Amino acid sequence: MTQTVGEPGPRTGSRTGAACTATYVFAVCRGGDPATLTGLPGQAAGNPVRLLPFGSLEAVVQDVSAAEFGEETLRERLTDRAELERCARAHHAVIAAVAGSAPTLPLPLATLYLGDERARAALREDERRFLAVLQRIAGRVEWGVKVYARREAPEGPDRSATVAPTRTLTRTATRTATRTAARTPVRTTAGSAAAGAGAVDSGAHSGRAYLERVRGARQERERRQQAGLVAAETVDRALRGVAVASRRLRTHDTTLTGERGVQLLNAAYLVADGHEREVAAAVAEVRADPACQGVEVEVTGPWVPYSFVDGGE
């Protein structure tokens, strides 16, 4: 994500003087309107965000302190989630503002050059690629679609039947119940006898009953995983139908998705501008699809086509 473009020679950080500035490039655009940039804080409030022409295009740039954006310092800053968020939001705010007035190709967060001349020279080398990408994304927007497995997966009614009234429940069954049961002294035969007639039966075959429950839980999990995959594919297929291009991104870890279930699909779709209704219709359709009842579909957009600037498909 961090892309420090520069010469292999002297490092940005080791250059002398705090007054030394670097050129931060947000995006490349064609025919951008400088008026849209006024007042944007960018990555260094106080320094204006401006257009830097190169070849037939313009770069959206800002002077930033080279010390603050040195390789080491920057890596340090971007490992801090709060700081990373702040930088990403500032980056996005500028890109969104420019994109409102001209075809815009967002560059990765923290694209830096040692001054305007370096930036201009390096960007000019990539001009043909930029033009190709701009042509592809012009008049198109990105929609992000994420599919999550529902937290409370609907457990089959047969489930309660397979879970015999013994103290050990399978892993997928409520763990709290297991723990409470482990602490309470139901280990005695009197206790299990009191638990009901079923306990006598399961007491005789508790080992086998346990194996059966494990098997049941495994099958249930496999079924759920399979259903999740089918649902993700269904969503993907429906949205590809309205999209010009699509990309499957890496799914997020549950520590990031928080309260939600496991992320099954994280995809981006490049859709013609103004086709919000088609996207909404496709989403409504998959939400109603019986194959997608166990999942939650989250849609965000329209975005500047961040996911489609690398050439891709």
Binding site for other proteins (CB under 8 A): 72, 75-76, 79-82, 168, 171, 175, 178-179, 182, 205-211, 214-215, 218, 221, 250, 253-255, 262
Scan for tokens 């299990």, then name that residue: 192
Question: Do 75 and 4 meet the contact criterion of CB atoms below 8 Å apart?
Answer: no
Nearest distance from C-beta of residue 81 to other proteins, angstroms: 4
Nearest distance from C-beta of residue 218 to other proteins, angstroms: 7
What is the dihedral angle through the alpha carbons of 152, 153, 156, 162, rounded to the nearest 10 degrees? -70
Nearest distance from C-beta of residue 144 to other proteins, angstroms: 19
Nearest distance from C-beta of residue 294 to other proteins, angstroms: 14
Contacts of 307 (CB under 8 A, 6+ apart): 142, 247, 249, 268, 270
Residue 183 CA to residue 194 CA, distance in Å, equals: 17
Question: Do 244 and 137 meet the contact criterion of CB atoms below 8 Å apart?
Answer: no
Question: Residue 96's closest CA among 2, 25, 22, 26?
Answer: 26
**Token representation of residue 34:** 């400088």
Coil, helix or strand at residue 287:
helix
Nearest distance from C-beta of residue 196 to other proteins, angstroms: 19
